Chain A
Amino acid sequence: MEKLNNQQIIEALQKAFGEHAIYGIGESHGILQVTSSVDQIVPMMHFLYADPILKFQFLTDLAGIHFPEAKGQELGVIYHLHSLENNVRLWIKAYAPIDAPNFPTITGLYASANWMEREAFDFYGIIFEGHPNLTRILNVDDMDYHPMRKEYPLEDATRHDKIDELFGR
């Protein structure tokens, strides 16, 4: 059997969801990345899971990300899918504004998404609607901010010996 190539995945997705559902297509070191809208994620994942050829049935990872400069699309989620039978990886990305960072949960499809989504909630404040137990996982429960967001610098702001300028940064 010939190896599934990225063009076939794009065509299958465009056929099923139309051209407008896919905002951006990229490729990084052979891995296809597809950017879509938040409300398309769950149907898209179900389609990729159930398709008899594509078979993206393994969720490798789920990563939150914060781009403070991208107004209206500050918070993002990157889903790392893996089709073990074809040995092809795929990233699905979606972005939401920081005021309403609501994503649908995919715990119904992947049991492994449970803690991954809790982690993204814990660190980025991304709210996964329909999640069975969306609570903090690694940080303490009474923390009142989401520490991986870019507005929380790691260094103590009162320190003057580590100014980037002095190091030519």
Chain B
Amino acid sequence: MSEIALVNSPNVGLDKTQKGGPYVNDLSTLNLGPTHPATHGIFQNILTMDGETIVDAEQTVGYIHRAFEKIAERRPFYQITTLTDRMNYCSSPINNMGWHLTVEKLLGIEVPKRAQYIRVIMMELARLADHIVCNSILAVDTGALTGFLYVYQWREHIYEIYEELCGARLTTNMGRFGGMERDLSKVAIEKINILLEGLPKGLKEFEGMVMRNRIFMDRTQNVGAISAERALNYGFTGPNLRAAGVDYDVRSLNPYSSYEDFEFDVPVGTKGDTYDRFLVREEEMWQSLRIIKQAMENLPEGPYHADAPHYYLPPKQEVYKNMEALIYHFKIVMGEIDAPVGEVYQSVEGGNGELGFYLVSDGGRTPYRLKFRRPGFIYYQAFPEMIKGSSLSDAIVTMSSMNVIAGELDT
């Protein structure tokens, strides 16, 4: 098309988004999802495109909705831990611990220091795994596959540490009400020390490859930006909010599980764009390593679970020879133990932000109402606003850097 033709086009200077307007419609619809390699999960975006530019976006979620909140109303408290695994499956231990903390708050159980420290170590390992996934996949989405290979082996290593503690890798079901199901084993401590030694090297290599890479910077800077004000209004939390310049971190504002004992920084960005989100996550990984190091050095001696026989399963050997242990074992496994009446809200800093549990108990064996505050569900609403006017390739990296996880989105 020549320049003269463009000037004479009936569309120059008209509002393209106005319905029924004089604009001659040449918009096209593009389905991004439900199954698309770039969404990293099952959810749909119906994009209205004007050539390469996104004019509007409509989201459809719920493809893997599993009715967790309804199921939870029928399950004894300890069986709900397995549901929380499946929310943000990139950092299951954080979900598990958040749920345990909620119930412990309701029951009034005091958790021993050692268990709290082990929980902190596990939660920070989970955060590392979560951020490794998000950041290295962001690099892959911009076309840099190599960096991903440098850090992904450490995610594997973190899974091996989980395995050492709870026997599972992805859906961990880690910990119990009152503490941990087992102490840190020799192998686990060894593996954590290997990680503390090796991951910084891998991370440095990854950052050296990606962080100041011209192509990566061009693809991510000023892409998918959101202001601090809009981010707060949209209920952003976690790294995505901090990238916009708000230093809200549950770990430092409302410390839980002894986070007040550790020294760490809360990194913030300035622009709230994709590059800032990447940088904030990178820095958080360094801070997580710092926290794990401190926790390992100052790991207190003592029991790894509280003395709460009504809620904490007795050791199996005891069950065979001790009457009380057998009774408690039976009652716990059958879900016979009633919880006190109450209403609790407990939040933890998940991989993506404030993960909250609102629990209403009517004194029965199951929750009367349980509401999960999933950070991903709340901030993903802002996606259309963030990508309007940008190109399709920008939308892909924006989504990738927001770390939208389908399990968390749909519960």
B371 CB-CB contact with A under 8 Å? yes
CA distance A91 to B371 in the complex (A): 14
Number of chain B residues whose Cβ lies closer than 8 Å to a Cβ of chain A: 40
B259 touches A (CB below 8 Å): no
Say yes or no: B254 contacts A87, CB within 8 Å. yes
Q: Within the assembled complex, what's the spacing in Å between the Cα atoms of A87 and B354? A: 14
Residue of B nearest to A149 (CB): B70
Cα–Cα distance between A29 and B126 once the two chains are bound (Å): 28
Residue with the greatest number of chain B CB neighbours at <10 A, chosen from A115, A123, A148, A154: A115
Question: Does A50 make an interface contact (CB < 8 A)?
Answer: no
B410 engages A167 (CB within 8 Å): no
Closest A residue to B230 by beta carbon equals A111
Say yes or no for A46: interface residue by CB 8 A criterion: no
Asked if A4 is at the interface of the complex by the 8 Å CB criterion, the answer is: no
- Please tell me if the beta carbons of B235 and A59 are within 8 angstroms of each other in the complex: yes
Partner of A168, one of B61, B67, B336: B336
Quick one: closest B residue to A66, CB to CB? B369
Is B358 within 8 A of A87, CB to CB?
no
B342 adjacent to A28 (CB under 8 Å)? yes
| Chain A min CB distance to B103 (Å) | 13
Minimum CB–CB distance from B341 to chain A (whole Å) comes to 10
Assess the B74–A28 pair: CB atoms within 8 A.
Answer: no
Interchain CA distance A99-B31 in the complex, whole Å: 39
Residue B73 CB within 8 A of the other chain: yes
Q: Which of B191-232 contact A (CB under 8 A)?
A: 230, 232
- Among B69, B336, B365, B382, which residue has the most Cβ atoms of chain A within 10 A? B69
The complex places the Cα of A138 from the Cα of B200 at a distance, in Å, of 40
Interchain nearest-CB distance for B34 vs A (Å) = 13
Q: Considering only CB atoms, which chain B residue lies closest to A58 in the complex?
A: B232
CB of A112 within 8 A of chain B? yes
Beta-carbon contacts under 8 Å, B40-70 to A: 61-62, 65, 67, 69-70
Contact of B233 among A110, A123, A138, A147 (CB under 8 A): A110
Q: Is the CB of B69 within 8 A of A123?
A: yes
- CB <8 Å contact, A80 and B230: no
- Which of these, A58, A136, A148, contacts B235 with CB under 8 Å? A58
Stretch at the interface among B2-10, B306-314, B373-381: B373-381
Contact B71 A63 (CB under 8 A): no
Other-chain residue from B233, B334, B347 in contact with A112 (beta carbon distance below 8 A): B233
Report which of B62, B69, B234 forms a contact with A148, defined as CB distance below 8 A.
B69
From B62, B246, B253, A139 is in contact (CB under 8 Å) with B62
**What is the bound-complex CA distance between A168 and B37, given in angstroms?**
50
B177 CB–A CB distance under 8 Å: no
Contact with A along B345-389 (1 / 0, CB 8 A): 101000000101010100001000101010001100110000000
Q: Is A16 an interface residue (CB 8 A)?
A: no
Task: Determine if A147 and B65 form an interchain contact, defined as CB atoms under 8 angstroms apart.
Answer: no
B344: interface (CB < 8 Å): yes
Complex Cα gap A40–B372 (Å): 26
Residues A57 and B232 in contact in the complex (CB < 8 Å), given A29-B105, A63-B371, A154-B70: yes
Say whether A31 faces chain B, with CB atoms less than 8 Å apart.
yes
B-facing mask of A122-162, CB < 8 A → 1, else 0?
01000000000000111110000001100000110000000
Find out whether the CB atom of A154 lies under 8 angstroms from the CB atom of B62.
no
Q: Which of A57, A91, A112, A119 sits near B234, CB closer than 8 Å?
A: A112
C-alpha gap A141/B409 in the complex (Å)? 18
A116 proximal to B (CB < 8 A): yes
Query: 20 A-B pairs, CB-CB below 8 angstroms?
Result: A28-B342, A29-B105, A57-B232, A61-B356, A61-B371, A61-B373, A63-B369, A80-B345, A80-B373, A84-B232, A84-B246, A110-B233, A114-B381, A115-B378, A115-B381, A119-B377, A138-B62, A139-B62, A147-B67, A147-B70
A residues at B contact (CB < 8 Å): 28-29, 31, 33, 57-61, 63, 65, 78, 80, 84, 87, 89, 91, 110-112, 114-116, 119, 123, 136-140, 147-148, 154-155, 167-169
5 nearest A-B pairs in the assembled complex, by CB-CB distance: A112-B235, A138-B62, A63-B371, A138-B65, A61-B373
Which residues of B come within 8 Å of A, CB atoms? 61-62, 65, 67, 69-71, 73-74, 105, 230, 232-235, 246, 248, 253-254, 334, 336, 342-345, 347, 354, 356, 358, 360, 365, 369, 371, 373, 377-378, 381-382, 410-411
